[in-house]
Amino acid sequence: MRRISRRTVLRGFGTAIALPCLEAMLPRMSFGAATAATVPGPKRLAWLYVPNGVDMASWTPAAYGAGYALSPTLQPLAAFKDRFMVISGMVCQKAFANGDGPGDHARAQAAYLTGVQPRKSEGSNIHLGISADQAAATKIGHLTKFPSLELGMEEGAQGRCDSGYSCAYQHNLAWRNETTPVGKDCLPQSVFDRLFGNANSAESAEARAKAQERKKSILDFVLSDAKSMQSSVSAADQRKLDEYLTSIREIEVRLSKSAEGPEIKPPEGAVRPPAIDLKGDTKKVGVSTSASDYDVHLPLMLDMMVLAFQADLTRIITLPFADEESNQSYPWADAPVPHHGTSHHMGDPAKIAYLAKINLYHMKYVARLLEKLDKIKEGNGSILDNSLIAYGSGNSDGQRHNHDNLPLLLIGKGGGTVNTGRHLQADGVPITNLWLSMLDHAGASWDTLGDSSGKLNIS
Amino acid sequence: MDTRRGRGGSLLKILCVCALCVFAWRLAQNLPAADDTRTAAAGNPQLGPTDAEKAADWATFQTTVQPFLTSHCITCHGDNMPEAELSLNHFSDAASLQHGTAALDKMLNMLRNRKMPPKDEVRPTEDEYRQVSAWLDAYTTKAALWAPKNPGRVTLHRLNRPEYNNTIRDLLAIDFKPADAFPIDDAGYGFDNNGDVLSIAPVLMEKYIDAAGQSLDRAIFADPIVPAPVKHWDAMTMAGTIPTSDPKTNVVVLPGPSGRTVVNGRVFNYNGEIHADYNFPKDGQYVLRLRGYGQQRPMVQFKLDGVNAGAPIAVTESQADISVYATAKLRVTAGTHQVMLVFTNGATKEEYDAAQARNAAAATRPAAVAGAATQPSAGQAAGAGGAAANPGRARGPGQGVAGAQGGRAGAAGRAAGRPPRGGTPGGAGTGRPMLGVDFVEVEGPDDITPERMPESYRKVMVAQPSATVTKAQAAELIIRNFASKAYRRPVDDGEFKRLMGLWSQQDAAGEAFEDSIHTTLQAVLVSPYFLYRYERDPGPNDPGGVRTIDEYELASRLSYFLWSSMPDEELLKLAGDGQLRANLPAQVKRMMADPKAFAMVENFAGQWLQLRQMATVSPDPKRFPDFDEPLRQAMVKETQLFFSAVMTEDRSVLDFIDANFTFMNARLAKHYGVSGVTGDQFRRVVLSGDERGGLITQASILTLTSYTNRTSPVLRGKWVLENLLDEAPPPPPPDVPKLAETEQAELTGTLRQRMEQHRANPNCVTCHAQMDPIGFGLENFDAIGAWRIQDLNNVAIDSSGTLPDGTAFQGAKGLKQILLAQKDQFCRCLANRMTTYALGRGMESYDKPMLDQIAAGLKENDYKFSALVMRIVQSDAFQKRGSSGSDNSK
C-alpha cells in the first residue's frame, strides 16, 4: 500500500513548516489521573529552591510547635497554615568548605539534594552524587511518562562560575549519578510541548501512530550505533556514552507507554504558554540586571508544574526559582537590586529590607502554587494534600554563606501521613534526612543519601 | 647547560628577593636567559636534568618547600595511611624529588586554590603560599619537559549549541538554529566547548530528535524555488456560453498603492461556463486558478474534459477586492484537456432575460428613479452594502453591468451584501449571485525536480529514482553521501548496511521515497557518531599509548576550532587523499580567511574576554542615561571587529594590549568624544592621543568590569590579571564579602581610602595589592567606559597606581606599558586560553612545555596571530591522542 507522503500532507495543509517530530510523544496515559477519582491520588514530590539564602530574621517564626505564629516572610501562606510545616535548624554539611576554600554558592546548590561534597573541579573530573529527586525516580519514576521533570528559571551564565567550580554544580539541582547532572528546561513553552506534544491537531491518529513507528525505528537504530561505539571507546568515555544510552532508553520507555495508553490531552483550560525571553529585555536597559520577564516566567513555570502533576505525567519535580549567585533583580517586589550582591548585606538595614522583600515576593508565588494545587481535587482531598514539596535554600544567611540553620518548608500532607501545621525544631539534622523521609512518605524509600544519618520524623 | 643554570639562578633570586613580588617573578621569567632555557629545552625535551641542576633544585627545595611541608603537610600526608593517599614524606634526595613530581603537582593544585591545609589547621601566610607555589610551578614545568610527552586526551565531545547550529547550517544549507532551544551548555575552564562538562540528558535527547526532524523537513520537504510553468488566459478571450461583455464597461476598480487599478473582467450574469483547451506537458501535479470577484458568494467549479476537477470554490463577496482562488493540486496526465470554469449558483439564462425585460420596462418610467442610479449615489449604495472600507472608490460588477445595460445600477449596487428584496435586485436584477472573472490559469506540473529545488534539497537528495535508477540505488547514493558528511568521515560498511536496513524497512512499509529517506537521515542526525566528535583511542599497537589522529579527525579538530562547525568539502577531500597534514598551513590560512572564522570572534573571543556578558550588563539608567541599546551593541561590535581585524589581517597579538586603531560608528564615536564619524556603519578609526587603544580601553571591557552605578578597580584589576596574564588571584577567603559590592557611592577619594583600609587586612592585602592598582590606572574611564577627568563630586580623577614591586605608573597608558613589558606572560596566557578552547579540555601540568613552545613560537613570528593558531594546530596535543587525560586525583 502506498501511503500519502508527508510532503503532500505538509504542503496540502499549506503549513510552511515542520511536521513536529515529537508528535509521537503525545501523551498516552496509562497510569494515574484516570484512576485518580476512584482511589487516593499518587504522592507527588517537589523541591523548590531559592538561591543566596534568606533574611532569617524575617523568615524564622519565633515559637516552635503547633501554635506558632507565622513570621513576616511566611504571611502569604496564612491560608494554608495547617497544610505545611516550618523546619528550622537543619544543616547541609557538605556545602561548607571542609577544606575546599571558597565556592559556597556552587557547593550550596550542588550539595543541597545530594548531601555530597562536590569535587572542586572546573570540569575535567566533576564528581557529586545522586540527588534525592533522582533517587526517588529510580523507585517511582517508571509509574509516569516522565520519571522526573527538571525545571528551571535561569539558563545560567556562561563562562566562569563560582571559585573554581564547574558551572554544572551551580546550575543543577538534579544529578542522575556522581558525574551526570540532569539538564533543566527553562522555557515554559518547551515544557508544555514536552508534556502534551506539539503535534498538529489536524493530524490524524493514523499519522501520529505512523510517526511513532518512525521514531521507534530511529531509536532502535541509534541504540545499535551507540552500542557499536561503546565497544570501541575506552573506559574514560563510557561515562559520556552512558548518558546517551540512558537518554535513548528513557525515551523508548516513554514511547512504549504512549503507545499503550490513551492520549493525554492538556487539562481543560490549559493553554500553551507564550514564549519567554530568558535573556532579559535588552531594550529596557537598567530595569533589571537579568531577566525582565521573570515576573511572568515564574508563574508560568509553576503552572507547568501544576499541569504535570494534574495530568500525572510525572510525580517528581525540581525547580530552582533562580540559581545560586543569581543577580536577578526584583522591581516587582520593590527590590530593583541584584539579588546576590544584595545578599552580602554587611548588616545594612536597607539591603536586608530588600532581601526580605525578595523572600516575600517568592513566597507569594509559593502561595499561588498552593492555591492552584489545592483547587485540583483528588479523592477526598486535593493534589496539595497528596504532595510533599520542600521549599528552601542551601544557604542560610547570604552574608555569611553558612549552611546550617537552613530556611525550610515542607508543604503538603503526603496523602495525610505528614503532621503539618507546626514549626519543627531539627537543629543539626542533615537535610538529607528530611529528603529520605519525604521519599518514604511518597513510597520511594531509599536507605541513605549522601551525608544522611537517618530519617527525620515528619509524621 | 649554562643556560639552564641561568634559569635556576634567576629562580633562586626570586625566591630570596621578595615575597610579594609576583610581578618581579614574571619579569624574571622573561629575562633572556630564561627564554633561552625554554627554547633549548624545548629542542631536547627528554634530555633530562644535569646532576648539577638536580642538586640545585634539591637545594632550593630544602630551603623553600621542606619547611613548609614539615609545618603544614606531613601530619596528615605522612607515611602512615596518608590522607587522600598522598604522601609528601618521601623527599630525601635529588632523585626522590624527580620521582615525586606527580605528588608535587597535586600539592601545587591544592595550594593554588588555597584548598590545603584545612581551615581548622594553622594556615600558611599568603607569602608562604606564593613562595611555595611559585617554586612548585617552576619545578613541575621543568619536570614536564623531562617527562615523556603526553598529548592528553579529549573526552568524547558532544557538539555544543553553536557547533550544532553551524553544523546543521553547513550540512543542510538551511537557515535554522534549532540548538537555540536546547538547554544551555555548561562551561568548564572558561569555555562552553569542554568535552568533560558537555553532557546529554533525556530532555536534550528529545530535542535532538526533534531538531533533526525539523531540520530535514526544511531541507527535504522544501518548496521549489523555481516556480512551475503557468498557462494564463484572459477570461475575455475564452470560449464559452457566457457572452463576452464590453471591456470598457466591465470593470472593477482596485485600491492599490499606485491609486486605482482597473481590471477588465468576464461577467457571469447567469449560470454558464468559459473554457479553453490546453496541452498538459507531462503527468504531474497541477493547480487550476482563477481571479475573480462577485456578489452573494458565487460558486464556481473547474472541470477537466467535463469532469469535476477539485472541490467547488466559493468566491468571496467583495466589491473592493479581486482575489485569486485555486484548486488543490490535481494529478493530471499529459496531453490536451479542456479546462473549463463553470458558474453554478447564479440565475438561469431565462431568469436573467426576464429580469432584463423588467429593467427595460422600468427604464421608460419617470426620471426620478433613474436619477437614483447616477454614479455618485451608486457608489454610496455599494459602500453601504459590501465595501464599507472604501465607499465611492470601490465598484462592484453590479455597477459595471448596470452601466452596460444603461439601467438600474443603483438597485444592483444596493443588493450587494444584502438579501435580495422582492424581484428586482441581485445579479442584474435577478436577485441571484453573479460573478466576474479576470483570468484563468493552469500552473504545473509542480513536480519536485532538482532543478527547481533550493540548494538545501539538492545537497541531500543527490539522486532520484527514475526509469534507470531504482529506489534502492538512489537511496544508497543519498544515504552514503549524507552520512559521510554528517559523520565527518566516510561511513563504514557495517554502518552503511545498517542504514540501508533502516531505509528498506521504511520503504517496505510503503513510505514515499522522500519519507523513507527523511527517517533514515533523521537517524543519522541522532546517531552518536554525529552528535559526538568521536576519535579512536590509541590501541595496544600505538607506541607509548599515543596515536596520531587520522586526517578526518584532524579535519574535524580544525573546523570545530576555527569555524565551530563541520569540515567543508575541501577539508574532507584532502583528508580522504591523505593530503591535509601536508597542506596544513595553507588550509589554516584559508580557513581563517573564510567568513565562518567569525565563530572564533563569537565563541573564542566572546568567552576569553567575557564579551558575551555584555548581553546582560545593565548600567543604572539614572546614573548613565546615555546608555542605550545601540550603545550596548556598538560596544560589543567594536571589540568583535577589533579582534576580527587582528585575526584576519594577521596582526600582532600585542595589538590586544595596545593599538593605534579601532572601529567606531557614530554612536560609539560620540560616546568616546571622537568627531567626524557619522552613521550607523562601523569604520576603522586611527587613534590619536593617549586615551584609547587596546582592549582595556574599550568600552565593552570597561563596562562589563564595572558595577551598575560605579567603576570597580577590583573587577578591572582582576580581569586584567585573569585574562591577560593568567594570574587569576585566588578567590577571597570565606566570610569576606566583596568590598562594597553594591556600594551606591561613586568611587571617590573616600572609597579609595576605604579600599586601602581593606587592603590593610592581611587576608586581603596580597591579592588586592595586585588587583586594585591596575584598576586605579583605568579610573579615567567611567562605568560605561566614557572618558572623564573628574568624578561626580568634581574631584579630579587619580589614575595613578603602584604595583607591589613598587613600580608606579600613571593611567591606562602607563598600565599598557607595564603589560607590554610582560608580553611573554601575555602570550603564554593567550596560548593557554586558545589551546583550552581549541582542544576543548583544560590544560594540565604536562601541557606546560607545549604552552611554552606555542608562546615562544608566537614571539619568533613577530607575535602574529596566525603563528599562535599554527603553533596550536601543529602541537602534539592537537595532532595526537593519548591514553590518559586529566589526573583524577586532583
**Segment B223-248 mean pLDDT:** 85
Residue B320, pLDDT score: 59
Tracing cell 526580605 back to the chain, one arrives at A356
Q: pLDDT at position B3, please?
A: 40
| CB contact A182 to B (< 8 Å) | yes
Q: Which residue has the higher pLDDT, A330 or B404?
A: A330
Name residue B643's amino acid: F
The three-class DSSP label of residue B793 is coil
Question: What confidence category does residue B407 fall into, taking pLDDT thresholds of 50, 70 and 90?
Answer: very low
Q: Is B532 exposed, middle or buried (0-12, 13-18, 19+ CB in 10 A)?
A: buried
Residue B605: its pLDDT value, please? 97
Q: How far apart are CA A205 and CA A222, in angstroms?
A: 26
pLDDT at A378: 85
The residue of chain A with its CA nearest to that of B523 is A218
Helix (H) or strand (E) holding A13: none
Highest mean pLDDT among A113-122, B84-93, B105-114, B726-735: A113-122
> How far, in Å, CA of A165 to CA of A117, rounded?
12
Kindly give the interhelix angle for B471-486 and B493-508, rounded to the nearest 10 degrees: 130
What's the confidence (pLDDT) of residue B678? 93
Q: What is the 3-state secondary structure (H, E, C) of B395-449?
A: ECHHHHHHHHHCCCHHHHHHHCCCCCCCCCCCHHHCCCCEEEEEEEEEECCCCCC
pLDDT in tens, A145-181: 899 999 999 876 555 577 778 888 988 999 999 988 8
**Pairing mode of beta strands B307-308, B299-304:** antiparallel
Q: Residue B503's closest chain A neighbor by CA?
A: A217
Q: pLDDT digits over A7-43, tens only?
A: 665 544 333 333 332 222 323 333 334 333 333 689 9
pLDDT of residue A200: 46
> Which of B271-285, B386-400, B446-460, B814-828 shows the lowest mean pLDDT across its residues?
B386-400
CATH number for the domain whose boundaries are A31-198+276-441: 3.40.720
Query: What residues in B contact A103, CB-CB < 8 Å?
Result: 731
Angle at B150 between CA B147 and CA B152, to 5 degrees: 145
Our CA angle for B178, B182, B184, nearest 5°, is 135
- pLDDT of residue B889 exceeding 70: no
CA distance B709 to A338: 12
Residue B526: list chain A partners with CB under 8 A.
218, 222
Lowest mean pLDDT among A22-31, A340-349, B664-673: A22-31
Is residue B187 less than 8 Å (CB to CB) from chain A? yes
Q: Are A186 and A153 in contact (CB under 8 A)?
A: yes
Whether B544 and B525 have beta carbons less than 8 Å apart is answered as: no
pLDDT of residue A160: 58
Read off the amino acid at residue B796.
A
Q: Which residues in A lie closer than 8 A to residue B116 (C-beta atoms)? A: 99
Is residue B381 scored above 80 in pLDDT?
no
pLDDT top residue among B72 and B496: B496
For residue A201, pLDDT beyond 90: no
| Residue A291 confidence (pLDDT) | 72
**With contact defined as beta carbons under 8 Å apart, do A20 and A199 qualify?**
yes
Question: Confidence band (pLDDT; 50, 70, 90) for B428?
Answer: low
Q: What is the pLDDT of residue B869?
A: 97
What is the rounded distance in angstroms from the CA atom of residue A405 to the CA atom of residue A397?
A: 9
Q: Is B712 on the interface with A (CB under 8 A)?
A: no
Q: Give Cβ neighbours of residue B123 (< 8 Å, ≥ 6 apart).
A: B117
Answer whether B428's CB lies under 8 Å from B356's CB: yes
pLDDT at B47: 56
Average pLDDT, chain B: 81
**A209 at B interface, C-beta within 8 A:** no
What's the start-to-end Cα distance of chain A, in Å? 62
pLDDT interval class at A432 (50, 70, 90): very high
Q: How confident is the model at residue B24 (pLDDT cuts 50, 70, 90)?
A: very low
Q: Where are the domains of chain B?
A: 2-146, 226-447, 603-704
Cis status of the peptide bond prior to B117, with omega within 30 of 0: yes
pLDDT tens digits, one per residue of B293-349: 888 889 999 999 999 999 999 987 665 567 888 888 899 999 999 999 999 999 999
To test the contact with chain B by mutation, choose from A173, A214, A314, A351 the residue with the greatest count of B C-beta atoms within 10 A, namely A214
The pLDDT, as a whole number, for residue A280 is 54
Cβ B842–A187 below 8 Å, yes or no? no
pLDDT at A13: 36
Query: What's the confidence (pLDDT) of residue B139?
Result: 86
HEC assignment per residue over B638-654: HHHHHHHHHHHCCCEHH
Nearest to B59 by CA among B97, B113, B3, B6: B97
In a 10 Å sphere around its CB, with 0-12 CB exposed, 13-18 middle and 19+ buried, how is residue B377 labelled? middle
pLDDT value at residue B143: 78
* Cell numbers that stand for A190 in this block: 518547551
- The answer to whether residue A275 neighbours chain B at the CB level (below 8 Å) is no
Whether B583 has its CB under 8 Å from any CB of chain A: the answer is no
Nearest Cα to Cα of residue B873 among B857, B862, B859: B857
Main-chain dihedrals φ then ψ at residue A432, nearest 5 degrees = -65, -25
- When scoring A148, A187, A240, A293 by the number of chain B Cβ atoms within 10 A, the one with the most, hence best to mutate, is A240
Report the distance separating Cα A10 and Cα A18, nearest Å.
Answer: 8
Give Cβ neighbours of residue A449 (< 8 Å, ≥ 6 apart).
Answer: A114, A115, A129, A130, A132, A135, A432, A435, A436
- Partners of B341 in the beta sheet? B274, B302
Interchain contact B326–A (C-beta under 8 A): no
The answer to whether the beta carbons of residues B623 and B709 sit under 8 Å apart is yes
Q: Is B312 on the interface with A (CB under 8 A)?
A: no
Residue found under cell 467549479: B301
- More confidently predicted of B383 and B308: B308
End-to-end CA distance of chain B: 33
What is the predicted pLDDT for the residue at A180? 87
In angstroms, what separates the C-alpha of A163 from chain B's closest C-alpha? 6
Decide if pLDDT at B401 tops 80. no
Q: Which sequence spans correspond to the domains of chain A?
A: 1-30+199-271, 31-198+276-441
pTM exceeding the 0.90 threshold for the entire prediction: no
Beta-bridged to residue A335, according to DSSP, are A330
B449 touches chain A (CB under 8 A): no
Q: Do B512 and A7 touch (CB under 8 A)?
A: yes
pLDDT tens digits, A360-392: 999 999 999 999 999 998 878 899 999 999 999
Average pLDDT, chain A: 84
- Is A124–B732 a contact, with Cβ atoms under 8 angstroms apart? no
Over the stretch B807-839, which tens digit does the pLDDT of each residue have? 899 999 999 999 999 999 999 999 999 999 999
Does the CB of B199 have a partner CB in chain A at under 8 Å? yes
- Residue A81, by phi and psi: left (phi above 0), alpha (psi -120 to 50) or beta? alpha
Question: Contact B699/B632 with Cβ under 8 angstroms?
Answer: no
| Encoded amino acid at A412, one letter | G
Mutation to test the A interface, candidates B182, B199, B443, B886, most A Cβ within 10 Å = B199
- Judged by a CB distance cut-off of 8 A, whether residue B48 touches chain A is no
Q: Are A83 and A421 in contact (CB under 8 A)?
A: yes
Residue B667: name the closest of B637, B624, B709 by CA.
Answer: B637
Binding-face residues of B in 97-116 toward A, CB within 8 A? 113-116
What's the mean pLDDT in A308-317? 93
B152 and chain A in contact, CB less than 8 A = no
Model confidence at B742: pLDDT above 50: no
- Alpha-carbon gap, residue A6 to A12, rounded angstroms: 9
Q: Is the pLDDT of residue B39 over 60?
A: no
Question: pLDDT of A257-306, one tens digit each?
Answer: 777 766 677 888 888 888 877 765 444 433 334 577 889 899 999 999 99
| Beta-carbon count within 10 A of B573 CB | 13
Looking at the complex, does the CB of residue A15 fall below 8 Å from at least one CB of chain B?
no
Percent of chain A whose predicted confidence (pLDDT) is above 90 = 53
pLDDT in tens, A67-110: 999 999 999 999 999 999 999 999 999 999 888 878 899 999 99
B666-675: average pLDDT: 95
Q: What is the pLDDT of residue A203?
A: 58
pLDDT at B67: 87
**Dist. CA B200–CA A240, nearest whole Å:** 8
Instruction: Identify whether the C-beta of residue B876 lies closer than 8 Å to the C-beta of residue B599.
Output: no
Residues in chain A: 459
Contact B197 A168 (CB under 8 A): yes
Tell me: pLDDT of A440 over 50: yes
Q: Which residues 373-392 in chain A show a CB within 8 A of chain B?
A: none
* pLDDT (mean) for B111-117: 76
| Averaged pLDDT for residues B78-105 | 79
ipTM above 0.90, yes or no: no
Rounded CA-CA distance A191/B271 in Å is 55
pLDDT for position B240 = 93
pLDDT tens-place string over residues B522-537: 999 999 999 999 998 8
The predicted structure's pLDDT at residue B318: 61
Angle at which helix B126-146 crosses helix B2-17, to 10 degrees, equals 170
Name chain A contacts of B499, Cβ cutoff 8 Å.
221
B388 to A28, B323, B379, B393, B768: CA distances (angstroms): 50, 18, 10, 10, 76
Quick check: A402 and A90 in contact, CB under 8 A? Answer: no
CATH code of B226-447, in short, is 2.60.120.260
Residue B719 has pLDDT above 90, yes or no: yes
Q: Is the pLDDT of residue B429 over 90?
A: no
- Chain A nearest-CA residue for B606: A159
Q: For residue B816, what are the contacts with CB-CB under 8 A and spacing of at least 6? A: B657, B658, B693, B694, B696
Residues near B141 by beta carbon (within 8 Å), at least 6 away in sequence: B845, B848, B849, B852
Q: Do A164 and B209 touch (CB under 8 A)?
A: no
Least confident range of B348-352, B356-360, B749-753: B749-753
Contact A221 B196 (CB under 8 A): no
**Which residues on B lie below 8 Å from A247 (Cβ)?**
200-202, 204-205
Instruction: Average the pLDDT over B409-436 and give the result.
Output: 50
Distance from CA of A341 to the nearest CA of B (A): 6
Stronger pLDDT, B149 or B246, i.e. the higher one:
B149
Report whether pLDDT(B424) > 50: no
Which tens digits make up the pLDDT trace of B639-653? 999 999 999 999 999
